[in-house]
Amino acid sequence: MHNEVPLFSVPKGMYLLSHSVGCLPMQTSSVVAKSYFTPWQQKGGDAWPEWLSIIEQFCHELGMIFNANEADFCPQLSISSALSQYLQSLGQQPNKSKRTVLMHATAFPSLGFAVQGLEKYGFTLKLIDKDIAPNDLDAWQVHMTDDVAVAVITHVHSNSGELSKIVEISKLCRAKKVRVVVDIAQSAGIIPIDLQDWQADVVVGSCVKWLCGGPGAGFIWINPAHVDELWPKNIGWFSHENPFEFDIEHFAYAKGAKRFWGGTPSILPYASAVVGIQQIRKIGVSNIYAHSKKLQSIVLNSTATYLTNTIKLEESGGTLCLALNNNLLDRLANELTQSNVYFDRRENSIRLSWHIYNTEQEARKVANIFHCL
């Protein structure tokens, strides 16, 4: 999609790595300079009120793009730290025999590592085998044994691009009294998300990919229906219901999701993320999704006969994960590199992402590369 004034600073060449890092919005540098650096330069320690307003704006923008209350969001360092925080907060739940965390084996490894790091709290990781389809509802049902406390559902799987059936899997979880955590790392900003439709318990995400917000701005959304039952362990003065009370002998958890905030907050990553979210929201996630699907279809129509996997565009995110035999995989990787295409490889697949700043001309160029193999 072309604009008279570029909205993003896109690296020279064909940038198809939005599943890794989204491109920098053109306004980010000037907006961040004004909202973060100028107050620091002019006010020093008195800049805190303005800096904290950045966090308020960040949560507001998340609420707008995901159709949720801004009070139910809390900044986090990363998705894995958010999951770890949430699991530890369940420590005072009455049924301590339920400490198994279920996820599909194709979930991002960091999520599994977070669970394994909590073994001393009694948590155990349970995986649905990678050879079982992520949307196999029978498999989820069978694996959801009585010891399972939490199911972590990947909205869009990074290695296949497959879109999970959040509503259907969540329904199975609720029937078993299993809490639902949804990872939206690969879907936020490219697939329209309405948290009111999902009614998950927790949603974790970051802004580095399709939201074009840069690294460091993670977040957690907590369903307000049960937030008061959660007791985070990694707490600090911004987890307090009144951070500026300054009474070392008195601590009371914040009433909402901010109880997960912790100590003195980081600001700069969120100042950058606000600009990215605003830009994506202004364009419209549904418009970005439609544009991405149009470009993906151009590529897929020319590549389907070469692939060893089946891709259904309506059941995938913004990334085409093209699985090929090793000979073709190497040849394609070489041709893409020679054409100055930004891409990456995972296992037997090449991953190509299509965002709003990608064009039909680029999609047709990739399609032509396949014809030359």
Domains of the chain and CATH, by start: 30-281 (3.40.640.10), 284-371 (3.90.1150.10)
- Residue 326: predicted pLDDT: 81
- Residue 93: predicted pLDDT: 52
Q: Give yes or no for residue 92 having a pLDDT over 60.
A: no
Helix (H) / strand (E) containing 344: strand 344-346
pTM of the model: 0.95
In this structure, the number of other CB atoms found within 10 A of the CB of residue 253 comes to 18
Q: Give yes or no for residue 325 having a pLDDT over 60.
A: yes
Q: What percent of the chain has pLDDT over 90?
A: 90
Residue ranges of alpha helices (H) inside 186-242 are 195-198
Scanning the structure block, which residue is given the tokens 């990456």? 344
Answer with the residue of higher pLDDT: 371 or 24: 24
- Chain centroid to CA 159: how far? 14
Q: Which tens digit of pLDDT belongs to each residue from 123-148?
A: 999 999 999 999 999 999 999 999 99
Task: Kindly tell me the burial class for residue 155, based on how many C-beta atoms sit within 10 Å of its own C-beta (0-12, 13-18, 19 or more).
Answer: buried
Distance CA 288, CA 300 (A): 18
Q: List, in sequence order, every residue forming a beta bridge with 163; answer none if it has no partner.
A: 156
**Residue pair 227/259 in contact by the 8 Å Cβ criterion:** yes
Average pLDDT, the chain: 94
